[in-house]
Chains A and B, each alone.
Chain A
Amino acid sequence: MKKALLPLAIASLLPTAAFADVIVYGRANVTVQAVEKFDTNYTEVASNASRIGVKGSEVINDDLKVIYQFEYQTKMDDGGSSQTCSATSLTTEPATTTTTCKVSGTQTFTQRNIYVGLQGTGGTLMAGMFDTPLKASQEKVDLFNDLIGDLTFVLEGEIRARNIVQYSTPAFANITLNAAYIASEQDVENAVDGISASAVYNSKPFYFALAADQNVKLASDQTVSAVDVDLARAVARVTFGPVVLGAMYEVYDNGVSDDDEDGFLVSAQFNINDEWALKAQTVQSDMVKLGSESSSVGVDYKMSKAAKLFGFYTVIEDELTRDDKYLAVGVELNF
């Protein structure tokens, strides 16, 4: 099928009545990265959370509507992320084994945020698979979100939970409360359900959020555990004209070690003009790996409202094994 006909094909599948309040959206984000890793140097092409989705609503009456969203991620660089390896033993002396790995693009789309729910004057109730209130509380503080400098490689809590039900209050004085329940869907010993909650204040120049998780990852992954895993997060973003400052602080109790672990993120963006922006960010914690730190600097050039070119330099290191460096240029198109 010709690419130009794709939108018409999609449109023909949707009844005109249902299409009235549908937004089709997506993002294409690809970088070419020079990587220095484990004393090796190579160049890679990376697809950074490129995705496509539909979102919409169906009005039931003046006070109630059904909302929905289907969002899927696709690997623009290799078409999939699956890798299959096979080992071959050779009957030579000494005996040797050769392992061959093949990357295949069998998984074109993977599920991202998908839900259906009810929205009315009393708030929003929705169920599906989507970001927990704690994950969503990061808002836009992570300036290298979806890139190699993403906070997820250093801090805990970036969970898109399965089997989640969430209630959000209507915004009152710019404050919204969110509470979610994550079902582990099993009745075995030490199986736990998860809870995630957040309180968010969001005005134009200021953003503040407090959030907490309990056993969210265990429940979402259907993992049994004899101990509770708790996480708390505070987020702030302040805008002073062309400068946007962000900060995040986390405390993590894995239920095993005696001491809680903490971590933080600070970020700054300076919008030179409508086209150019400079960014810097650092994230540190012992949560994922001991002494883990990710520091990034970058520059964005906005070509249009929907498209931008960007470049960044990121260093990710920890006290054990990692001291990786990434120099990248990329393009992003939002639609």
Chain B
Amino acid sequence: MLGIKKLLFFVVIFCGSAVALATGLDDSCESAVDAADKLGSPISKECDYSNTGLNGVLHRAVAKKEKAVVGKSFSDDASASASSKNVEISTGSAVVNTANNSATNNVAESLLRVIFAEFETMQQLASARYELIREASQDCSNGFVLERESYFPTRNKLLKLQLTYSCF
């Protein structure tokens, strides 16, 4: 009985081999749990698990948290500025800038504007920069030009990204 089972098994193997096509493997990423079975293997740069399953839910939740942190930074400084949209207007620079612009330009739109956000990690930097650029694009309906990108240390040991831009 055992011999028959072995024979059948090897028949299955060799029949399978006969019809096999020598094509490559599926290049799609394996699941995160299978990747974790490879102990100590680095997280594959080609495989992004940040948007799948429970992991995706957690990453999105944290992303919202980071976004809230960025918004809070705006609000804190906005209290000292004239803008209710979390955007500071650098009036000192605006005078110089206005003089350089053509007469057809709208005076308000030619002002240099400054927005900023605080961050701690590389990933937060990317997120903060994206949020700031989106903020600027919403502020300038015809587009904008980035005049300056500056970084400053803060009292709470974070870094502050400050974008200076002007609208077209």
Chain A interface (Cβ < 8 Å from any Cβ of B): 7-8, 10-12, 14, 16-17, 19-27, 51, 53, 55-57, 67, 69, 71, 113, 115, 117, 119, 124, 126, 130-131, 136, 166, 168, 204-205, 239-243, 245, 266, 268, 270, 280, 282, 293, 295, 305-306, 334-335
Q: Are B58 and A7 in contact (CB under 8 A)?
A: yes
Closest B residue by C-beta to A71: B36
Q: Does B154 contact A (CB under 8 A)?
A: no
Q: Across chains A and B, which 9 residue pairs bring their CB atoms closest together, nearest first?
A: A335-B53, A240-B20, A241-B21, A25-B32, A334-B31, A11-B61, A243-B20, A20-B123, A7-B57
Query: Which of the listed residues A23, A124, A270 has the most CB atoms from chain B within 10 Å of its own CB?
Result: A23
Q: Report the minimal beta-carbon distance from A290 to chain B, rounded to whole angstroms.
A: 14
Tell me the complex Cα distance, A12–B57, Å: 12
Name 20 extra pairs, CB < 8 A, besides A8-B61, A67-B42, A280-B13.
A7-B58, A10-B58, A19-B58, A23-B35, A23-B55, A24-B55, A53-B36, A57-B42, A115-B39, A115-B40, A204-B24, A240-B20, A243-B20, A245-B13, A293-B2, A305-B31, A334-B31, A334-B34, A334-B53, A335-B32
Among the stretches B4-12, B91-99, B110-118, B134-142, the one at the interface with A is B4-12
Given A11-B58, A305-B28, residue A67 in contact with residue B40 (CB < 8 A): yes
> Which A residues are in CB contact (< 8 Å) with B55?
23-25, 335
Contact of A19 among B6, B16, B62 (CB under 8 A): B62
In Å, the complex CA distance between A10 and B49 comes to: 17
Interface string of B80-111 (1 = CB under 8 A from A): 00000000000000000000000000000000
Judge whether B62 and A11 touch: CB under 8 Å.
Answer: yes
| B79 part of interface (Cβ distance < 8 Å) | no
Question: Quick check: A335 and B52 within 8 Å, CB to CB?
Answer: yes
Chain B proximity of A24: nearest CB distance (Å) = 5
Shortest beta-carbon distance, A293 to chain B, in Å?
7
Output the residue of B5, B19, B121 with the most chain A CB within 10 A.
B121
- Interface contact A306-B61, CB-CB below 8 Å: no
B40 to chain A: which residues have CB within 8 Å? Answer: 67, 115, 117, 119, 124, 126, 166, 168
- Contact string, B128-159, partner A, CB cutoff 8 A, digits 1/0? 00000000000000000000000000000000
Give the contacting residue for B39; candidates A27, A131, A205, A243; CB below 8 A. Answer: A131
**B25-A205 in contact (CB<8A):** yes
Dominant secondary structure at the B interface: helix
Instruction: Name the one of B10, B54, B120, B121 contacting A24, with C-beta atoms under 8 angstroms.
Output: B54
18 A-B interface contacts by CB (under 8 A)? A7-B54, A10-B58, A16-B120, A17-B120, A17-B124, A19-B62, A20-B123, A23-B36, A25-B32, A25-B55, A56-B43, A67-B40, A205-B24, A205-B25, A241-B20, A245-B13, A335-B31, A335-B33
Q: Which of B's residues lie within 8 Å of A, judged by CB?
A: 2, 5-6, 9-10, 12-13, 16-17, 19-25, 28, 31-40, 42-43, 49, 52-55, 57-59, 61-62, 65-66, 69, 120-124
Inter-chain contact B20/A242, CB cutoff 8 Å: yes
> Are the C-beta atoms of B17 and A245 separated by less than 8 Å?
yes
Chain B residue contacts of A282, Cβ below 8 A: 5-6, 9
Query: Which residues on A sit within 8 Å (CB–CB) of B123?
Result: 20
Please name all residues of chain B whose beta carbon is closer than 8 Å to the beta carbon of A27 when the two chains form the complex: 31, 33
A21 to B38, CA, bound (A): 17
Query: Chain A: which residue is nearest B23 at the CB level?
Result: A241
Query: With contacts A17-B124, A27-B33, A241-B20 known, is A69 near B58, CB below 8 A?
Result: no
The answer to whether B36 touches A16 (Cβ under 8 A) is no
Residue of A nearest to B123 (CB): A20
CA distance A53 to B54 in the complex (A): 11
> Which residues on the A side are within 8 Å of B6 (C-beta)?
282
Q: Which residues of A contact B39 (CB under 8 A)?
A: 69, 113, 115, 126, 130-131, 136, 166
Q: How far is the CA of A305 from the CA of B51 in the complex (A)?
A: 13
> In the complex where A16-B65, A21-B43, A245-B17 touch, is A69 in contact with B36 (Cβ < 8 A)?
yes
Residue of A nearest to B19 (CB): A243
Residues in A with CB closer than 8 Å to B9 are 266, 268, 280, 282, 295
Complex contacts, A136 vs chain B, CB 8 Å? 37-39
Look across to chain A and name the residue whose beta carbon is closest to the beta carbon of B31. Answer: A334
